[in-house]
Structure 1
Amino acid sequence: MLNLTYNYKLQPTAKQIEIIEHNLNVCRSVWNHALYVRKLWYNSRSCEINKCSLKSEYIVEPFEYPNYHTQSAELTKVKKTNEFLRSGNAQAMQQTLRKLDRAFNDMKAKGMGFPRYKKNLKSFNLIGKLSLDGNCLKMPLLKSIKLRKSRDIPDGFKIKQVQIIKKASGYYANLMIDLDVNVPSPVPHGHAVGIDVGIQSMIATSDGLILPRLSFFR
């Protein structure tokens, strides 16, 4: 599988800008609340018994670790009674939860920092029926939005995901495209050479090559 990312500048209408901004706010709320629930879970299990208050200590109701699947199910349930969440795009909110889940996985596996609350969200992702029709990008949320088509997508590639990004200079779209092809692994060629860096000679290799030390200050 060959994966590429192409970036285009969008030319949205006033109505489309309103839709983008609204979904950025909705996804920001989803991110912050999901992060709050996860922090609550961590804090409820991080207090050592010899450091708890002698008078009183708030004990969180026991619940399982809030991973992507549990928070996704909770989001679906809450949307039925929350008008603000129901007005947002379902795919964008689900992808926001996936992004938060990846952030926690990176924190555990790669030693990345603890995820932070978002004062302003700059992007959200969409999946589904995505295609380019001339100078227009077709997607579930914005139907058809104009863009500056700086380059064509190579033949055979399909759009799998789009990231809508807000910058100071405008709105952009990152198109994640892929091609179902087997990419061969690089084949080693030549032979290995050992290199030693010394004082009398600058470099000495296992093949017998010796490079003399250079005198730069003479």
Structure 2
Amino acid sequence: MHDGWNYFQQRGYGFPRFKKFGQMKSMLFPQFKTNPITGWQISLPKIGIIPINLHRPIPEGFVVKQARVLRKADRWSVVLTLQSEVSRPEAQPHGEL
């Protein structure tokens, strides 16, 4: 709060306010050193192990890069971002040359 007040005085930012309950609709966990999914559970930093309903298995060779925990309509869900090493095909020329 002290830093927020100093920024307000010096740089002209808006008046510092406390965040309201329920203001954040999602939380992002940007990096994982190991695969956070084991069976029907996901391990999130500072939260712990949470049971999940994994609709589709993670394909072979894909790595979980980040997880976003969302709150929609009184329900929590997790959106996973995956990465794989896939070679891109060369673009084929089309039309007249």
TM category (shorter chain) comes to 0.5 to 0.7
Q: 1:173 Cα shift?
A: 0.4
1:120 aligns with 2:1: no
Larger Rg: 1
**Structure 1 residues 185 and 168: CA distance shift in structure 2, 3 A:** farther
1:61 aligns with 2:10: yes
Q: Going by fraction, where is helix more abundant, 1 or 2?
A: 1
Q: 1:135 aligns with which of 36, 40, 54?
A: 40
For residues 131-164 of structure 1, the C-alpha deviation after alignment (integer angstroms, 9 at most, x for no partner) is 2111111221222111111101111111111000
Q: 1:187 Cα shift?
A: 1.9
Which residue of structure 2 aligns with residue 151 of structure 1? 56
For residues 165-189 of structure 1, the C-alpha deviation after alignment (integer angstroms, 9 at most, x for no partner) is 0011510001011012332353233
Number of aligned residue pairs: 81
TM-score by length of 1: 0.32
- Kindly report which structure 2 residues correspond to 1:7-156, keeping only aligned pairs within 5 A, or say none: 60-61=9-10, 120-129=23-32, 130-156=35-61
Structure 2: which 5+ runs fail to align? 12-21
Q: Cα RMSD (Å) of the superposition? A: 2.7
* Percent identity of paired positions between Structure 1 and Structure 2: 24
Structure 1: which 5+ runs fail to align? 1-32, 41-59, 63-118, 193-218
Q: Going by fraction, where is strand more abundant, 1 or 2?
A: 2
1:163 aligns with 2:71: no
Distance (Å, rounded) in 2 between the aligned partners of 1:167 and 1:180: 32
Q: 1:180 aligns with which of 78, 85, 88?
A: 85
Counterpart AA for 1:120: Q
User: Larger relative contact order (C-alpha < 8 A, sep ≥ 6)?
Assistant: 1
Counterpart AA for 2:68: Q
